[in-house]
Structure 1
Amino acid sequence: MSNAEKKAGRNEVRDTIVVVIEALLIAILFRTFLFQPFSIPTASMQNTLMIGDYFVANKFVWGYGPYSFPFPVPFNGRIMGREPNRGDIAVFHNITNEDYIKRVIGLPGDRIQMKEGRLYINGTMVEREEIGKAQDTDSNMQTVPVTLYRETLPNGVTHVIQEISDDQPLDNTAEYVVPAGHYFMMGDNRDRSADSRVLSQVGYVPSSALIGKAEARFFSIKDNIPPWQIWQWPANVRWDRMFQSVNQ
């Protein structure tokens, strides 16, 4: 092999390494500042987000806080971006040191209460309309019948919730007053969600804990089957849930 051929080979290897490093840096920057993938391991947001759904969260729409990055950054508050709207689906870092996903129900200063299974915001009962019946299976494979409702929040945002009944443990609560700089989160699977109604487990979520706004599903598979098990796809992938808004 001539010196020219050896030099060309070294240049080709060097160029390949540079391309790989550049691709990795772009992927890291994309995940850190723009969109981050998450999966759903529990039933608390069904049927909006099912166990085994994979989705991306928009990290720049609400700006950046300490938990927006791969490792917590020691600063208070948020920089850039806007505040969440009522009805947005939020990924946030919980007091249990886990990432949770729930819907923003209460904004700073709001009064939130559950009475006989009905949601009240600032003293007004939130409208809901029954739209059907279904079966709900949680991560322990326990299945119960549920009623589906279309709920309309005060700002006009509509979404589907499901209830086992209107007399479950979190269906009658004291009135919660959301502190400044905090949000009240609830799961769409109202009777199978540990959320802001449980102050010791979730409670009021500070804006600094927000990670991103859930936007689009890109994959969905039954029973939390690992996506790399491609041989399981034909019978278990939910093709009809892929590449959709999280609210569809």
Structure 2
Amino acid sequence: MNGLIMCAISIVLVFIIRGFLFIPLSIDGISMEKNLKQGDHVITEKMSEIHRFDIIVFHLDDGKTYVKRVIGLPGEEITYKKDQLYVNGKKRMESFLTENKKEHAPTSNYTNEFTTSTLLSTKKIPKNCYFVLGDNRRLSKDSRSFGVVHQNQVFGKVVMIYYPFDRMQIIK
């Protein structure tokens, strides 16, 4: 009887952890290539705070689920000029784009020029919202087309690739 109770408790805990803390997801699409590839299986978590350059999973009103990288946080002004990210006028490095830039844009801009003012009709990202971009900048539907993502739309943050095994890694 004692073993049966322990088994039942374990099953309940697994469902709680899987359903509310760590959620598996399969990547569908190429907008995050080279960092996340079509068919990668990832773990997302809901508990930690979202920071710049985190990869998040969110749902939009169109019913689709998206996986993108957070570039801008609430209250910030984002500018891309000459393939360089500026946050509130300060240059920010995007080391996660190095391979993509080498392969896809060795002699031209990988990310088209824009400002939050021109895309969002407001200078700064609104409160409780994020500006997101795909790492595959030329083939990504992201905040440049659908605007900011409200924190209520965020499903979780990608923390690990667990399959395929040769790509297993913790996402920082």
Specify if TM > 0.5: yes
Identity %: 34
Structure number with higher helix proportion: 2
- 4+ residue runs of structure 1 moved beyond 2 angstroms? 18-28, 113-120, 123-127, 158-161, 163-168, 172-177
- Corresponding residue to 1:30 among 8, 13, 17: 17
Q: Identify the residue that residue 41 of structure 1 maps to in structure 2.
A: 28
Specify every segment of 5 or more residues in structure 1 that has no aligned partner in the other structure, as ranges: 1-10, 62-82, 128-150, 152-157, 221-238
Normalising by structure 1, report the TM-score. 0.57
CA offset at residue 28 of structure 1? 2.2
- Corresponding residue to 2:78 among 100, 112, 130: 112
Which fold has the larger relative contact order, with Cα–Cα distance below 8 Å and residues 6 or more apart in sequence? 2
Aligned 8 A contact 2:77 2:115 in 1: no
CA offset at residue 122 of structure 1? 1.6
- State the number of aligned residues: 160
Structure of higher CA gyration radius: 1
Paired AA for residue 159 in structure 2: E
CA offset at residue 50 of structure 1? 1.0
Within 5 Å, which residues of 2 pair with 1:1-248? 22=9, 24-61=11-48, 83-127=49-93, 151=94, 158-161=95-98, 162-163=100-101, 164-165=104-105, 166-167=108-109, 171-176=112-117, 177-199=124-146, 203-220=147-164, 239-242=165-168, 244-247=169-172
**Root-mean-square deviation (CA), in Å?**
2.5
Aligned 8 A contact 1:49 1:246 in 2: no
1:54-92 deviation per Cα after TM superposition (whole angstroms, max 9, x unaligned): 01011222xxxxxxxxxxxxxxxxxxxxx3111111111
